[in-house]
Amino acid sequence: MATTVSQTSVSLLRLTGCEEPVLVIDAATGQAEHLVAAASRSRFEPAEAVGSGYPGLLGPAPHAYVDAMVRFVLPLLQQHWQIGSLRPKRARGNFSLVTTPPEALSVEQRIPHVDAADPLQFAAVHYLCGAEHGGTGFFRHRASGFETLDPARVGIFNKARDEEAVPSSGYLTQDSAEFEMIGCCEAKMDRLVIYRSCLFHSGLIRAVPEHAADPARGRLTGNLFLQCEVAR
């Protein structure tokens, strides 16, 4: 993943009432067109086939792309999260396409989620599509007051959710009775957004396009999940 440093812009997204950092990097790679082409050659399969709750298709991303993402992201984590010197423990990456119609979503897919209740796992979403496909929203669970989950909070959150109404059908794109949107990042070609996997978030999918399964025309993203450990 070659990066044109002179054009890359790094900014911090401010979340309402929350100190959790979210980084937004524009012109992140300078390689967006090549990555869309690579995704078009990738073999996608339903996310549920590999045990993922993602509402669509997943495809393998080139190892060189994933490795370059890790090298690019790691110094930013150490700079902005200030949790000591980090080293990568495990990384996985893929291409993703949202294809599930709103009426076909599971209950879990209709609400914000966390990828892992692990404060040392980070997620990076690399938009390989335009703003018309919707970005990413970040949320606070109203009943618990939680913006993030850790192992100590999981039981409290699950108990609170059990007492709440089943969410209505469709993708969540704004505040709801159960969740408050505290920030959002719009999609933009070659924009990278980085956040901790334990932060509540959701894709802001306002419409699933007609050609949703086509990497050149659908909501294509590159996704990295990076589990770290503090270097001793």
CATH number at residue 208: 2.60.120
Inter-residue contact 55 to 47 (CB < 8 Å): yes
Inter-residue contact 177 to 121 (CB < 8 Å): no
Domain assignment present for residue 72? The answer is yes
Closest residue by Cα to residue 22 from 176, 137, 171, 173: 137
Domain assignment present for residue 184? The answer is no
Closest residue by Cα to residue 26 from 12, 13, 9, 11: 9
Note the pLDDT of residue 84: 82
Domain assignment present for residue 112? The answer is yes
Note the pLDDT of residue 3: 40
Note the pLDDT of residue 4: 39
Residues β-bridged to residue 97: 57, 220
> Running DSSP on this structure, what letter comes out for residue 78?
H
Inter-residue contact 73 to 83 (CB < 8 Å): no
Note the pLDDT of residue 118: 95
Domain assignment present for residue 187? The answer is no
> How wide is the angle at C-alpha 134 spanned by C-alphas 172 and 181, nearest 5°?
40
Domain assignment present for residue 166? The answer is yes
Domain assignment present for residue 28? The answer is yes
Note the pLDDT of residue 215: 98
Domain assignment present for residue 2? The answer is no
Q: Distance between CA atoms of 81 and 20, rounded to whole angstroms?
A: 8
Domain assignment present for residue 3? The answer is no
Domain encompassing residue 153? 9-172+197-230
Note the pLDDT of residue 44: 98
Note the pLDDT of residue 5: 39
Q: Give the chain's end-to-end CA distance (angstroms, integer).
A: 29
Total domain count for the chain? 1
Note the pLDDT of residue 231: 83
Averaged pLDDT, groups of 10, the chain, 232 residues long: 58 95 96 97 96 96 96 94 89 97 95 96 98 97 97 97 91 95 98 98 94 97 96 78
